[in-house]
């Protein structure tokens, strides 16, 4: 599982020109589900993200999590994180989970993230052509990959 974590002042998803979801201060997650991902991958990621200390405390140090900062989360499914362009200029996506499998895993990840974080968690629309808008705060961007299944 791969997730691009961006600390944001605000983020939103529009579909067909209409606002679908939005959050204020918090995290934007671009979420890729891989063929080899398991429930263990989802659990690891849903525990890791809410506890990342990437928000500033009163001393200006990155010492607070999204939970501590009272932020919210916008999670957007993005299979293109598994794009492989090592053999040419057109990426292949064979590392991404098939859509029907990825949809269920993404939904499960969001539920686990809500439970683990206690934060408001909004989502995009799985498989839709979405326009994602964000104001990156910092900018702070972290790329996480779950450990390989044993």
Q: Is there a catalytic annotation at residue 80?
A: yes
β-pair type (121-123, 55-56) = unpaired
Q: Please give the chain's pLDDT, 150 residues, in tens.
A: 999 999 999 999 999 999 999 999 999 999 999 999 999 999 999 999 999 999 999 999 999 999 999 999 999 999 999 999 999 999 999 999 999 999 999 999 999 999 999 999 999 999 999 999 999 999 999 999 999 765
Q: Is there a catalytic annotation at residue 9?
A: no
Which two structure tokens, joined as six digits, stand for 49? 């993200």
Q: Which of 9, 22, 55, 80 is catalytic?
A: 80
Its sign, for the CA torsion 58, 63, 64, 66, is positive
| Cβ atoms of residues 36 and 30 within 8 Å | no
DSSP structural state of residue 1: -
Which two structure tokens, joined as six digits, stand for 96? 């991404």
| Cβ atoms of residues 99 and 107 within 8 Å | no
Q: Which residue's structure tokens are 């993404």?
A: 106
Q: Which of 55, 79, 106, 109 is catalytic?
A: 79
Distance CA(74)–CA(125), nearest Å, equals: 11
For residue 47, the surrounding DSSP H or E stretch is helix 39-51
SS3 116: helix
Q: Which of 55, 78, 106, 109 is catalytic?
A: 78
pTM (2 d.p.)? 0.95
Number of other residues whose CB lies within 10 A of the CB of residue 91? 12
């Amino acid at each position: 599982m791969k997730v691009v974590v961006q600390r944001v002042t605000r983020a939103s998803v529009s579909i067909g020109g209409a606002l679908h979801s939005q959050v204020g201060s918090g995290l934007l997650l671009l979420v890729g589900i891989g063929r080899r991902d398991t429930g263990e991958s989802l659990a690891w990621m849903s525990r890791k993200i809410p506890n990342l200390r990437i928000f500033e405390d009163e001393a200006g140090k990155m010492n607070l999590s999204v939970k501590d900062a009272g932020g919210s989360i916008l999670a957007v499914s993005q299979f293109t994180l598994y794009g492989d362009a090592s053999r040419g200029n057109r990426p292949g996506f064979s590392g991404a989970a098939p859509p029907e499998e990825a949809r269920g895993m993404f939904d499960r990840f969001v539920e686990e993230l809500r439970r683990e974080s206690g934060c408001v968690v909004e989502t995009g629309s799985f498989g839709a052509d979405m326009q994602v808008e964000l104001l990156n705060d910092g900018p702070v961007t972290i790329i996480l990959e779950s450990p390989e299944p044993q």
